[in-house]
Amino acid sequence: MFCQVFVNFQSVVAISETQKLAIIDNCEAIRENLKNVQKLDSRMRVFFGQHFEAILSKFIIPLNLRLVENSLSNTNLIENQNEFASKKTAFAADFISYQQELENLMMLDCKSNPEKFYEKIEVVRGKREIVFNDVARMKKLITKNMQLVEKMKAEV
Amino acid sequence: METKERLRMTRGGKNLAMLGMGAILIALVATSISLVIYHNSGDIYLDRSRPGFLPDEEELELEEITEENFNFEKSGKITKEVLEGYLEHLETETKIIDSFENPFSLDTLSNERLGIPAE
């Protein structure tokens, strides 16, 4: 007979007394700051979302279709297209996840529970980093696409 | 006869009132469900039409200026010139994207920016 012991691990982010007092004292200012971040991030998501969509639908996909028509289909360009499309979807999903955490953070009372508030900030930072990496990856994919087309141009 | 007529009208009035209340109740339930779905699906975070998130005037002007209307044709010959045109316009689009410096920068939520001391 197996005994299963469930241990509830609670992640605790250690913050100093100074940090705790700073969070309590600056609670409103921090909230305001987070509100501005939320607004700016929303604007950035729309900006990048629109441009990534434009690049995919007006450049990458039509190019691959035209290459197929000319029997010049390039596996690397198709892979690039698939990865770009997949990353674009992931970017939207990761952004939603990040915004949900940011909203949860903004709902916390930083005056009464600064430790939990700081712990949540760390979670939000992690989520934001994922979004940051998504955008960086998409930019690299665009660069790679251009490099592949340059190479193709030399061979045509 | 008159009493029967009056009774029919009262019953009709009651039924109408119940119909109205039922319609309002259904509308409230349907609206609540759709709002919950809207929130839980995450679409609320992608929607900039909500109050406080509408684009500013300068932003709209910038969007008009930076819009790249190029559409690479899906069919036609592939020549060096065609690919050059593709690269030229994609380069323009890339410059527009790069105009937003350091998107989702990690510094934005740093302790320093939030007014929390390092230790």
At a CB cut-off of 8 Å and minimum separation 6, what does B36 contact? none
In this prediction, residue B57 has a pLDDT band, given cuts at 50, 70 and 90, of low
Residue A146 domain boundaries: 28-155
Alpha helices in chain B (DSSP H): 2-40, 57-66, 80-98, 111-114
Rg (chain B; Cα; Å): 30
Subunit contact B73:A149, Cβ cutoff 8 A: no
Give dist(CA B115, CA A33) in Å, integer. 9
Give a yes or no: residue A98 inside a domain. yes
Query: What confidence tens digit (pLDDT) does each residue in B4-16 have?
Result: 666 665 678 899 9
DSSP code at position B60 = H
Q: Quick check: helix, strand or coil at residue A78?
A: helix
Chain B, 4-33: which have a CB under 8 Å from a chain A CB?
none
Question: Chain A partners of B96 at a C-beta cutoff of 8 Å?
Answer: 51
How far does the CA of residue A78 sit from the closest CA of chain B (Å)? 15
Backbone angles phi, psi at B103, to 5 degrees: -65, 140
pLDDT at B60 over 70: no
Residue A51 CB neighbour total at 10 angstroms: 20
pLDDT at B68 over 70: no
Question: Chain A partners of B119 at a C-beta cutoff of 8 Å?
Answer: 16, 18-19
pLDDT at B64 over 70: no
Counted domains in chain A: 1
Domain definitions of chain B by residue range: 1-54, 55-119
List the single residue in B45, B79, B89 with the smallest CB-CB distance to A100: B45
Question: Measured between alpha carbons, how far is residue B82 from residues A16, A100, A149, B85, B99 in Å?
Answer: 61, 44, 11, 5, 26
pLDDT at B119 over 80: no
